[in-house]
Chains A and B, each alone.
Chain A
Amino acid sequence: QQQVKQSPQSLIVQKGGISIINCAYENTAFDYFPWYQQFPGKGPALLIAIRPDVSEKKEGRFTISFNKSAKQFSLHIMDSQPGDSATYFCAARGYYGQNFVFGPGTRLSVLP
C-alpha cells in the first residue's frame, strides 16, 4: 500500500512535443503529490505539487492532472525542450507525518 507506481520507465519526445508521465497509488491516506526533476549528478528538485482537492494544477509548461477516484496522477510537459531532459520522480505523502514514497522514476529525453 505504500508503493507508488510510475510509467513509462523511459520516454523519448521530439522538441515541441508533449511529455506525459503517469503515476498510481493505493494508499488513500496520501494527500500530497509532488513531482521532482533530477539532472545527472544533481539532487532532485521540486518541480510542481498538487493536493487531491483539485483536479489540475498548471505552472508554466508543467501541468499535474489528478484523478482521485482512480488514484492516479500525471505530469504533462507541454512544448518539451531539450533542457527538460532529466529523470522525473512522482511522490506521495500522507497528512500524519508519513514519509514521502517515491516512484521509480522516468528518464525523459527530448530530441532537438
Chain B
Amino acid sequence: DSGVTQTPKHLITATGQRVTLRCSPRSGDLSVYWYQQSLDQGLQFLIQYYNGEERAKGNILERFSAQQFPDLHSELNLSSLELGDSALYFCASSVGARGGTDTQYFGPGTRLTVL
C-alpha cells in the first residue's frame, strides 16, 4: 500500500459525459501528479500540482482539467468524454522537492470505461 488513495476504482460512463476522479496523497506529500495509461501503453504524464499550484503540464487535453485543494487532495475532471479516453488514470504523490531523488508513489488507479 503506497498510501495514495484514488476513488472511484472503476467508472463506466457514456460518450459526451463528464466525470471527476479523486486522489488523496500520502501524508506529508505536497505534490500530486496525474497520469493516463491506455491499454498496453506506457504512462503519459498529464499534469502536476504542488501545494495547490500547477507546477507542470504534460499531454493533457483541453477537455481535461485538474486542481489541488487546500487539504492537498486533487481532482481530475474529464469532460466531453470520447471512446479513446478509456484508460487507467493514476495519481502519484511526492514530497515535491526539486531535487532529482523526489520519489513518486502511485495510487491504485481509476479504470475509466467510456461506452
Contacts and interface: CB of A to CB of B under 8 A. Distances in A.
Contacts, number: 57
A97 B48 CA distance: 11
A99 B94 CA distance: 11
Contact of B103 (A34, A97, A99): A34
Contact of B107 (A34, A43, A89, A94): A43
A105 B109 CA distance: 17
Contacts of A46: 103-105
A99 B45 contact: yes
A99 B48 contact: yes
B2 A45 contact: yes
Contact of B109 (A34, A43, A99): A43
Given A43-B92, A45-B106, A99-B58, 15 more contacts: A34-B103, A42-B108, A43-B2, A43-B109, A44-B43, A45-B2, A96-B98, A98-B56, A99-B33, A99-B45, A99-B48, A99-B56, A100-B33, A102-B45, A104-B41
Interface of A: 31-32, 34, 36, 41-46, 49, 51, 89, 93-105
Interface of B: 2, 4, 33, 41-43, 45, 48, 55-56, 58, 90, 92, 98-109
5 contacts: A43-B4, A95-B99, A96-B98, A99-B56, A104-B41
